[in-house]
Structure formats: C-alpha cells, structure tokens
Amino acid sequence: MNIPFTKFNNLGLAISGLLLILSIAFISLRGLNFGLDFTGGISIEINYDGKVELEDIRTSLSSIEDANFVVLNFGSDDNILIKFQSEDVESFSPQTVFDQLEVDNLLGEVTKTEVIFPQIGEELRDNGGIAILVAIFAILVYIIFRFQYKFGIGAIAALVHDVLLILGLFSIFQLTFDLSVLAAVLAIVGYSLNDSIVVSDRIRENFLDQNQKGSSDSLINKSLNQVFARTIITSFTTLLVLMALLIAGGAALTNFSLALAVGVIIGSYSSIFIVVGVLLKMNLSNKDMEKPKNDPEESYSMN
C-alpha cells in the first residue's frame, strides 16, 4: 500500500479549516441547544402495562400552557421518559403533568421524578468544560514528554479540531446537547488521542530507524501507510457497534450515538491530516528525533 497522504495534506487542512470556521461561526451565533441537564427542568419516567403511543402523550401534554417538553421511549416501548425544559422549575410542578395525563386516561406507574435546578445545570456545564480543558492539557504534557513537543502540538490541534467539529454539528442542526453528549465528547478525546499516539509512534520509529532512508515527507507517508489498515479496521468495527446503537438504541441514545459515530470518523481523519499537517508545517526532521543519552532503547510501539 502506497497512498500519497502527504500529497493531499494541504487539501485536507483546507477542508478542515473551512469546517472549523463554519463550526465556530454557528457556535458563536446560534450557540448550543442545551438539554435540561444544563438548563434545568423536570424529568419523569412512567411505566405502562403495554405499548403506548408517544403521539397520544404529546397531544395530551401540549394542553399544558407554555410547555416545552420531549417525550420518548426509555429502555422499551413500555417505558416513557418525559422531559420538561424550564429555567423556572419552581413554578412548574410534576403534579401538573400527572393531572393532565390522568384527565386523558394516559397516566401509568410513575417510577421516577427528578427536578434539576438551573444552578445545578450551570455547574455541570462548567465542570464539563473544565474536564475537557484539563484532559487536553494533561495530554499535551504527556505527549511532550513521551515523544517531542511537535507531536504534542499536533495531537492537541487534532483534539481541538475534533471537539469543535462535534460542537459545530450540534449547533448547526440544533441537536440537544446534554450530559450523555458531553460524555461522548470526552470519549472522542480519548479515541482521537489513541489514533494520534499510534501515528506519532510509527513516525518516530521510522525516523529513528537507521535503515529507513528518504525525506521527512516520504518517511511520514510511509508511516501513515503502515498504520492505515489498522486505523480503518479499528474505526470500522467501532462504527458497526455505534450504528447498531444508533439504530436500535432508541431516541434516548440517538444524540449520544451520533456524536460518537461522527467523532470516530473525524478522529481517524484528524490523526492522518491534522497531526501530520502540523508536523509537516513545523518541518519535523531526524534531528528532532535524537534521544538523550539516558533515554531507554526499547520500543514503545502501540501497533
């Protein structure tokens, strides 16, 4: 296999640049459609003896004045999850929902009622953002000490690229961004990092191998071809699971599965074009790969 990845690197960076500009513009202008995990509201789980039509539930609840709600199956067709999004939860009681459903003879067994206040949602949102920043900083420090600072910059560029594109997707289509999606974003950070380390490790090994001859571009391109099959197989098998979850997981897991599936694709792409693009722009050379005298000789290849 000899795919000329480095030849198309500038095109890949240009496409990523356009997508990043588009994502940042939408995030700045439209923001994210935060779910009640962040904005505050009421979550109600109801169990029925048999399957109930979601549209009947929605029609009944639409009679409630100023109601901003979502109705979906939770776990099975017998379990319904109702989410009311409101910043003023004190003026809206779960009993209002129960009374309305009872009027229309649609009230089943209430299994769980949860009230989330806006202050808690803001704290969760802030803590989630801090968690992402801390993860990125820790990764930067690790890769700088594990490899070399140019690899660290490339890996962080890939992580920021992946996170912004996921957020941009949710902003453009105004998909609900809740705690499950935030968890998916954090998982994508780990997935992208894994791909970046595999690519970086193979590039470093080829630069250190005295038997490998050629320019930096040719060595980097050879490294990408060596790990390409592994990247495709890993991404494909992961996507199979995520597609099954997206199709059969129900509405409650749709956005979570979508964020992970798109993140896997973007993460694989960024490890090839973003990480390598940064290394090429920073003129990675054999001199950068020189080991300190006390550096151990054993290989740490992850492939």
Q: What is the pLDDT of residue 249?
A: 76
**Domains by residue range for the chain, with CATH:** 5-34+120-289 (1.20.1640.10), 41-116 (3.30.70.100)
Residue with token string 């499950």: 180
Q: How far apart are CA 97 and CA 84, in angstroms?
A: 10
In this prediction, residue 147 carries a pLDDT of: 73
Q: What is the edge-to-edge ordering of all strands in the sheet holding 109-116? A: 69-74, 76-85, 41-47, 109-116
Residue 45 in 3-state DSSP?
strand
Position 211: which residue type? N
Token pair belonging to 182: 């935030």
Least confident of 138-152, 189-203, 259-273: 138-152
* CA-to-CA separations, 67 to 63, 169, 237, in angstroms, rounded: 8, 27, 42
Residues whose CB is less than 8 angstroms from the CB of residue 24 and which lie 6 or more positions away in sequence, other chains included: 164, 168
pTM of the model: 0.81
Calpha distance 274→42 (Å, rounded): 42
Cβ neighbours of 297 (radius 10 Å): 6
**Mean pLDDT for the stretch of residues 127-135:** 79
| Token pair 């490294």 in the structure block, residue | 223
Q: How far apart are the first and last CA of the chain?
A: 17
pLDDT at residue 108 tops 70:
yes
According to DSSP, the residues that pair with 113 across neighbouring strands are 44
Between these two residues, 144 and 173, which has the higher pLDDT value?
Answer: 173
What φ, ψ does residue 174 adopt, rounded to 5°? 50, 45
- At residue 169 the predicted structure's pLDDT band, cuts being 50, 70 and 90, is very high
Q: What is the pLDDT of residues 237-259, one digit of tens each?
A: 999 999 998 888 777 788 999 99
Provide the pLDDT for residue 237.
92
The pLDDT tens digits of the residues spanning 36-74 come to 777 778 888 999 988 888 888 888 888 887 777 888 887
Please name the amino acid found at residue 23: S
Q: What is the pLDDT of residue 274?
A: 92
Given CA atoms 172, 175, 176, 179 in this order, what sign does their dihedral have? negative
